Amino acid sequence: MSGSLNFDTTSRPVQAILDEQLEQVSLIFERQLASDMSAVNKLCMHVESYRGKMLRPSLVLLSGLASTGGGIATTLTEKHRIVAAVTEMIHMATLVHDDVLDEADVRRRGATVNHLWGNETAVILGDYLISNAFHLCSTAGDPDINLALGQVTNTLCEGELVQLHHRNDFSISESTYFEIVRRKTASLIAECCRLGALLSGADAKVCLAMKRFGEAMGVAFQIQDDLLDLVGDQAVVGKSLGKDLDKGKLTLPVIYHLAESDQAARGIALGMIMDRDAAGLRQRLLVSGAVERTSGTAQRLVEQGKAELPQLPSGPARELLGVMADQVISRVR
């Protein structure tokens, strides 16, 4: 396929290969969003400043590299790079719409689209990103990829809708929380890993292992995100915090705290939730051990995900996937 690269991952550090590939993914991303309408371009350029960690594209590429072994000549194709750009575009769309839902003003230390241009523009710009993601995906000419990513975005939206349905549900169960998180966050991350492997020609066993790795990592990622929203430092995290409490979204630390409190402590915590008293609640969660228990759950999920990796051939790309999984829970932003 034109534009595909052949390289031996043993001959160059895998991080350098990844960086070079991500550069190409960025070009695909920017080319896709170039419009003949200047008003549209201005908005897209703003959204491109949100791109930071490139977690999802990195997982597509690394899964592609890792699943066929780090020691042999490995091919990343244009399809890998297109899928990588598509997953980032889907993620961007969710960020733009999430900021509308959360009435957030700050994202990656910059102003959000809704803050700068209003909710209406943010709604349609998010739609534009979703539409472009699917259009870009279609340029790969592979209906299976469209079908797989369409299924994932269906699942992702279902997770968001169920989460909205449970706003101000102060008796939301742990299992409902996990169902929401699996759908709204882990489904896309899992598919990044699975598709990366699939496009490298990995067998069904390896594809399934990568999907499981991504799902566990994705759930851990969201748990850490929810934890940071409650106990993080906005100056460090770089986005509006305390939004979950503001919006009546009960996340894992709060669910743990309520489940383990006696009646009196439960009453106090529920009062703080209803009063949106973030500082008070934070203190309670730290003292009760709910924060620590939440971190422990995320840690266990990361270990569970990493336990899938030995099913891949050993090599530097597989190692880097393990490092990325660890970073999910060590990150403070």
Strand partners, 8: 73
**Checking phi first, is residue 180 left (phi over 0); if not, alpha (psi -120 to 50) or beta?**
alpha
User: In this structure, which amino acid lies at residue 45?
Assistant: M
| Closer of 165 and 276 to a second copy (Cβ) | 165
Return the residues of window 74-113 that contact a second copy according to CB under 8 A: 93, 97, 100-101
The span of 63-71, 118-126, 268-276, 289-297 binding a second copy (CB under 8 A) equals 118-126
| Closer of 91 and 97 to a second copy (Cβ) | 97
Strand partners, 76: 5
Using CB under 8 A, pick the residue from 18, 83, 85, 137 that binds a second copy: 137
Tell me the closest approach of the beta carbon of residue 220 to a second copy, in angstroms. 23
Tell me the closest approach of the beta carbon of residue 299 to a second copy, in angstroms. 29
Report helix, strand and coil shares of the chain as percent, to nearest 5: 75, 5, 25
Contact flags string 159-198 toward a second copy, x per CB under 8 A: -xxx-xx---------------------------------
Task: For residues 35 and 52, give the distance between their C-alpha atoms in angstroms, rounded to a whole number.
Answer: 23
Residue whose pair of structure tokens reads 């840690």 in the numeric block: 299
Using CB under 8 A, pick the residue from 3, 13, 52, 150 that binds a second copy: 150
Using CB under 8 A, pick the residue from 110, 111, 134, 238 that binds a second copy: 134
Contact flags string 15-44 toward a second copy, x per CB under 8 A: --------------------x-x-xx--x-
Tell me the closest approach of the beta carbon of residue 205 to a second copy, in angstroms. 26
Using CB under 8 A, pick the residue from 5, 106, 111, 123 that binds a second copy: 123
Helix, strand or coil, per DSSP, at residue 261: coil
Strand partners, 6: 75
252 phi/psi in degrees, rounded to 5: -55, -45
Contact (CB, 8 A) for 301 and 223: yes
CA distance to 165, 168, 254, 302, 327, per residue, from 247 (Å): 12, 8, 14, 28, 28
The alpha-carbon radius of gyration of the chain (Å, integer) is 20
The span of 48-56, 71-79, 130-138, 287-295 binding a second copy (CB under 8 A) equals 130-138
| Closer of 131 and 283 to a second copy (Cβ) | 131
Contact (CB, 8 A) for 73 and 13: no
Residues binding a second copy (CB under 8 A):
35, 37, 39-40, 43, 93, 97, 100-101, 117-121, 123-128, 130-132, 134-143, 146-147, 150-151, 153-154, 156-158, 160-162, 164-165
